Amino acid sequence: MMATARDQKLIQLLGRYELFSTRQILKTSFPEIDKRTALRRLRKLENEKWIRRAPGLPGGESVWALGPVGAHRLRLETYLDKINRNTVEHDVVLNDIRMEFESLGIAKEWITEQAMRRKQDKRHGSIIGNEINPDAIFVVDVASTPRAVALEVELHGKNAARYCKIFRSYGNLRKIWSIWYAVPDQKLGDRILREWKNLGGSWPRPEFYWFVIGDLQDQTKPIRLHGVAGDRLIHRPTATS
């Protein structure tokens, strides 16, 4: 099969982000193409094993990842060869956050938990242990200094004892500057922040923030990070005429 420029772009995106929903593919690779035409092309790429599909999202939407032919074309040593249907909704949300943060220029050197485990990355591998496995780690510039941020996508809350164990484990990770929790609503964010505060003490630990996932979709407002000592705002570029 002769690959088009759009096919190549899609394969490269899946090589980088590993898992996309149909919605994400239509947005990034087929923005001005009729949906039915785009889906026909995806099925053809699937039949040729460039990509592969799995169910798992609400409403019957599919998720897509590289197939063996696509991975070979990119010469990848490792890739997402198994799709965990139990975590696809979580993983799609994680990529929504990643794309937004990268488009704003605030997140660099992004690496997911799955990629860390597969590659045993030498740079990040030392912070992965039995007690804590962040969903992703990325680098932000703080006063022109690169700092590591651990991101947790929390679609459902945990009990207090579990949060206590996780937070104390983070206290031992000296390379992590901050923890950011992405939550579906303010109620869960406030609850997690209370659990963080309840630990008390003077033991060393990263800065803590949470934000509402849905706020990323409102392009007219800054992203608000809610923290212990107050809020931080991530401003969006001002539109120019």
* CATH value at residue 180: 3.40.91
Based on the domain organization, do 34 and 143 belong to the same domain?
no
pLDDT in the model for residue 82: 84
Structure tokens at 13: 């995106």
3-class SS of residue 53: strand
d(CA 180, CA 107): 12
Based on the domain organization, do 56 and 102 belong to the same domain?
no
Q: Among the ranges 88-102, 107-121, 127-141, 224-238, which has the highest mean pLDDT value? A: 88-102
Q: Which phi and psi angles does 50 have, rounded to 5°?
A: -75, -35
In the predicted model, is pLDDT for residue 171 greater than 90?
no
Q: Does residue 79 belong to any structural domain of this protein?
A: no
Q: Does residue 47 belong to any structural domain of this protein?
A: yes
pLDDT range class, residue 147, cuts 50, 70, 90: very high
Based on the domain organization, do 206 and 108 belong to the same domain?
yes
pLDDT range class, residue 132, cuts 50, 70, 90: confident
pLDDT in the model for residue 146: 95
Based on the domain organization, do 22 and 139 belong to the same domain?
no
Q: What share of the chain is helix, strand, coil (3-state, %, to 5)?
A: 40, 25, 35
Structure tokens at 192: 């997690």
Look at the chain and report how many structural domains it folds into.
2
78 within 8 A of 119, measured Cβ to Cβ: yes
Based on the domain organization, do 93 and 69 belong to the same domain?
no
pTM (predicted TM-score): 0.89
Q: ∠126-138-159 over CA atoms, to 5°?
A: 75
In the predicted model, is pLDDT for residue 126 greater than 50?
no
Query: Among 177, 213, 181, which residue's Cα sits nearest to residue 194?
Result: 181
* Mean pLDDT in residue range 64-78: 90
d(CA 176, CA 147): 7
Based on the domain organization, do 34 and 126 belong to the same domain?
no
Q: Does residue 123 belong to any structural domain of this protein?
A: yes
Q: Does residue 49 belong to any structural domain of this protein?
A: yes
Q: Does residue 179 belong to any structural domain of this protein?
A: yes
Based on the domain organization, do 104 and 212 belong to the same domain?
yes
Based on the domain organization, do 126 and 68 belong to the same domain?
no
Q: Which of 47, 73, 99 is the last residue of a domain?
A: 73
Based on the domain organization, do 65 and 133 belong to the same domain?
no
d(CA 7, CA 214): 30
Q: Which of 73, 102, 126 is the last residue of a domain?
A: 73
What average pLDDT does the structure give for the chain? 89
Query: Among 196, 168, 165, which residue's Cα sits nearest to residue 180?
Result: 196
Based on the domain organization, do 192 and 97 belong to the same domain?
yes
Token pair 């923290």: residue: 227
Query: Among 158, 18, 13, which residue's Cα sits nearest to residue 84?
Result: 18
- Give me the domain span that covers residue 107: 88-234
Q: Does residue 188 belong to any structural domain of this protein?
A: yes
pLDDT in tens, 180-194: 999 999 999 999 999
Structure tokens at 171: 């206290």
User: What b/e string do you get for 77-103 counting C-beta neighbours within 10 Å, with b at 16 or more?
Assistant: eebbeebeeeebbebbbbbbbbbbbee
223 within 8 A of 237, measured Cβ to Cβ: no
